[in-house]
A and B are shown apart, each in its own frame.
Chain A
């Protein structure tokens, strides 16, 4: 006698996410074009196209070797890294904003960046090699988040999410003190500038060899987050509501935090600390395609890649010396965020 819902005859007319998604793609392609062509050694767009297609097809490109080397060896890795890291931070930020039901959350909320920072400055302090420093930074980010998660889960609480955020803030502060201590102890002529430079974030030293350790964790984490993106909608409700809808929140929270941390730590280990991307890009993406994570997550990734490509191009070309990325993203991000607060509050009230 219990009636099963009869499917409605006409499928709903959903507002298409396609225009917003196309805008994001357009920004990514514009970012790629700008990043490849602009620089101390300007390159034509057709040369870029020729070299890249030649690379795919295996035929000679017919472009001057010097130009080809700029495109493939010098600019290529940096462009790829910028796109990957922008996408990674945006995807992680989007996931965390949903998980913590808070639109002001960024990927470093659980201490991934502070942990990676402590790892990196320790690596520099002990005069490790470049890859060792990146490795220690990556592990530092993972360990910091694991510690935050364990402490947060061990303390009994009615609101586990809030407790987790507060634990992240506290542990982040402690790690910050650790970074301060190592900087204080460091050799002020060699080590300290290296630390400062690293902490401000930069892609200036990125080469082909950096791409593999970056791509692996980013791809893995992003895949997991993408696969879970419908469940993320439900995870943004209260814990009890989500469980009543059939979602095992405990397991899923661990999966999302692990994936987002993997992605964030790998990015920070490669490029240093680049704030704001993971905070702002999710908002931008939300204005393009709405809050449904099924559409939001891919859009945020694409938009994040494009965004960081533009920022990194400014960092390379904006002045005679490299401008640290962390400074640029803050300078661009702050007014932008204030504008966002004023204009689009209704999309996340």
Chain B
């Protein structure tokens, strides 16, 4: 049965600040959902609420039949993987160790990685074509490679859903393509994928559905073809937008005017 990650009538925010309310989000396994919206609109807050990292201020999040609050933190990590924005670690762990950390929830509090954990980590690295980075310090590889390491770590968690916060921010054009392909591959392999992006074109090419969030409220949601229109995007960003259409293929792309 296809499992769904769902937020019902969510109010999201922090102890001292409500960021958004009345949000309904649903993500099915095998599907890619793009979350778009202006800076400060609540994208990251919504992601963290859906991941169970922030308690909802109202409503609830379900993973399958169960409420997220009823699922233990380590079982949650075996259902939902989180790929944060590319960052620099304090310590220069070898890339393989970073990927191995994805296996943490598969052991108990005192266990250390087993041979099987190492094999899974290794295999995840091979899948993203970064096996050769295994011994390289995480702090000394490129931003694109780091993003792939974090993707491999998410895969090593063997989750049902993968949630990514701006996975292609600060990557060059080539690396953006690589990461986008791998995200698509995650969904093809049956994972539900949710990601935020500032690039509507990326959502158009990569996602099945899009969710437009502005000032903590939903502007539109649905199939990318019907939701990602010039009118909707202008309403979303509060700025004029142009549409370019490729005469040969009929594919379109957006540009800020």
Contacts and interface: CB of A to CB of B under 8 A. Distances in A.
Interface of A: 1-8, 10-12, 14-15, 98, 101-103, 156, 227-231, 233-234, 236-238, 240-241, 243-248, 286, 290-292, 294, 346-349
A287 to B, nearest CB: 11
B98 to A, nearest CB: 9
Given A5-B156, A244-B80, A346 B113 contact: no
Contacts of B121: 12
Nearest to B30: A1
B77 A244 contact: yes
B94 A292 contact: yes
A245 B104 contact: yes
A245 B120 contact: no
Nearest to A230: B112
Given A11-B115, A244-B53, A231 B92 contact: no
A118 B78 CA distance: 47
Contacts of B93: 233, 290-292
Contacts of B87: 238
A11 B190 contact: no
Given A3-B190, A11-B118, A292-B97, A348 B92 contact: yes
A7 B78 contact: no
B94 A11 contact: no
A298 to B, nearest CB: 12
A15 B87 CA distance: 25
Main secondary structure of the interface of B (DSSP, over half): mixed
B109 interface: yes
The 9 closest A-B pairs by CB, nearest first: A246-B105, A246-B77, A2-B190, A7-B119, A244-B82, A291-B91, A246-B74, A8-B123, A8-B122
A234 B160 CA distance: 21
A245 B105 contact: yes
- Dominant secondary structure at the A interface: loop
A290 B126 CA distance: 23
B76 interface: yes
A241 B84 contact: yes
B225 interface: no
Interface residues on B, range: 35 or more
Interface in B167-208: 189-191
Given A8-B122, A12-B122, A230 B104 contact: yes
A290 B102 CA distance: 19
Given A12-B134, A237-B101, A244-B80, A7 B111 contact: no
A153 B197 CA distance: 34
The listed residue with most B CB atoms (<10 A of its CB), out of A6, A98, A236, A245, is A245
Interface in B84-142: 84, 87-94, 96-97, 101-102, 104-105, 107, 109-113, 115-116, 118-124, 126-127, 134-135, 137, 139-140
B89 A236 contact: yes
Contacts of B127: 5
Contacts of B18: none
A286 B76 CA distance: 32
A234 B101 contact: yes
B111 A230 contact: yes
Contacts of A229: 112
Nearest to A252: B109
B255 interface: no
A5 B120 contact: yes
A248 B109 CA distance: 9
Given A233-B97, A241-B82, A291 B118 contact: no
A346 B89 CA distance: 12
Nearest to B105: A246
Contacts of B135: 14-15
B90 A103 contact: yes
B62 interface: no
